[in-house]
Amino acid sequence: MYDYTQSLRRSDASRDKVRQRTEIDLRGRRWTLLPDVFSPADTKSSLAHLDLLKFPVDGTFLEVGSGTGLIAVSAALAGCRAVWATDLNPAAAENTALNAARFGLADKVTSVHSDLFDALHDAPAFDVVYWHSNNVWAPPDLDYSVHQRAYVDPGYEAHRRYFREAPDHLAPGGQVLIALSSRARRAELEELAATESRRLVTVDSTTVQEPEGPVVYELMEVVTL
Ligand SMILES: C[S@@+](CC[C@H](N)C(=O)[O-])C[C@H]1O[C@@H](n2cnc3c(N)ncnc32)[C@H](O)[C@@H]1O
């Protein structure tokens, strides 16, 4: 079973690297990266999931846990009519807004500092709700920095709430998605989903070589039973 301390170490190494605002190049664009924000340049997960995702062109898209805004901004660039983004980390919410402005998309992307959906007032219903989650399990009874919380979810409490609450934000016919990896405790997540009357269904997946070996990145739909 994947050891959560590896993720905490990766988080700390990434944090040590980014002590001040910097820039990263991804897919032919230059992005702002603020200190304490999950770097999509430090793992292949963000780009792997970007390639698995199909954005609702002309529709509405909500990204939970937007980090730098790579995915939220890409959704707007792909032609989504309205994109909203939330993140538990205030620096990430600011980072998403900065990158949206950088690409002239400030009017299309609304970035909110929020624990999951808590601060989403006046938001529309969404055609797609998406979370590239911090899906490594970690013990609930320890303290974690906001940067570590980009990698681990203590006791999977945020996942439980996501399974329960995300469907409330959907437009008719909309889809709740979650981006997982083989580092997650999959059976526990499936059990949690079932206790919330949800089922996880694979949409697409890819296997990528990471420093620790091959990692499977999987895009799942959270289906209401
Ligand atoms: C794996 S990172 C993904 C970042 C970005 N979406 C990407 O693909 O590069 C997970 C993100 O979820 C955020 N997050 C963790 N728990 C959250 C919560 N309860 N509510 C909102 N965001 C949360 C983290 O701060 C982090 O930015």
pLDDT at 1: 82
Ligand 1: atom nearest CA of 153 is: 16
Distance CA 186, CA 47 (A): 21
Distance CA 170, CA 129 (A): 7
pLDDT at 141: 87
Please give the distance, rounded to the nearest whole angstrom, from the Cα atom of residue 159 to the centre of ligand 1: 11
Instruction: Specify whether the CB–CB gap between 162 and 178 falls below 8 A.
Output: yes
Residue-range domains of the chain with CATH: 4-224 (3.40.50.150)
Mean pLDDT, residues 27-55: 96
Query: Helix-strand-coil percent breakdown of the chain, rounded to 5?
Result: 30, 35, 35
DSSP code string of 143-166: ---TTGGGTEEETTHHHHHHHHHG
Distance CA 75, CA 66 (A): 11
Question: What is residue 136's three-state secondary structure?
Answer: strand
Distance CA 105, CA 84 (A): 12
C-beta neighbour count of 160 within 10 angstroms: 16
Please give the distance, rounded to the nearest whole angstrom, from the Cα atom of residue 65 to the centre of ligand 1: 3
Please give the distance, rounded to the nearest whole angstrom, from the Cα atom of residue 48 to the centre of ligand 1: 16
Residue 18: which pLDDT band, with cuts at 50, 70 and 90? confident
Q: Would you give the DSSP letter of residue 142?
A: S
Give the sign of the dihedral formed by CA 120, CA 161, CA 145, CA 26: negative
Please give the distance, rounded to the nearest whole angstrom, from the Cα atom of residue 150 to the centre of ligand 1: 5
Per-residue pLDDT tens digits for 179-190:
999 999 999 999
Residue 15: which pLDDT band, with cuts at 50, 70 and 90? confident
Per-residue pLDDT tens digits for 137-187:
999 989 999 999 999 999 999 999 999 999 999 999 999 999 999 999 999
| Model pTM score | 0.97
Please give the distance, rounded to the nearest whole angstrom, from the Cα atom of residue 195 to the centre of ligand 1: 23
- Return the closest-CA partner of residue 24 out of 5, 40, 2, 1: 40
Gyration radius from the chain CA atoms: 16
Residues 6+ apart with CB under 8 A from 54: none
As separate numbers, helices (DSSP H) first and strands (DSSP E) second, the chain gives 6, 11
Ligand 1: atom nearest CA of 92 is: 27
For ligand 1, pick from 68, 88, 136, 215 the residue to mutate: most ligand atoms within 8 Å of CB: 88
Tell me which residue has its CA closest to atom 17 in ligand 1: 88
Which residues have C-beta atoms less than 6 Å from ligand 1?
38, 40, 46, 64-67, 70-71, 86-89, 92, 115-116, 132, 134, 149-150, 158
Distance CA 215, CA 20 (A): 30
Tell me which residue has its CA closest to atom 12 in ligand 1: 65
Torsion (CA) 164, 51, 12, 92 in degrees, nearest 10:
-60
C-beta neighbour count of 42 within 10 angstroms: 16
C-beta neighbour count of 201 within 10 angstroms: 9
Q: Would you give the DSSP letter of residue 202?
A: E
Ligand 1: atom nearest CA of 158 is: 19
Give the sign of the dihedral formed by CA 72, CA 172, CA 218, CA 14: positive
Please give the distance, rounded to the nearest whole angstrom, from the Cα atom of residue 134 to the centre of ligand 1: 6
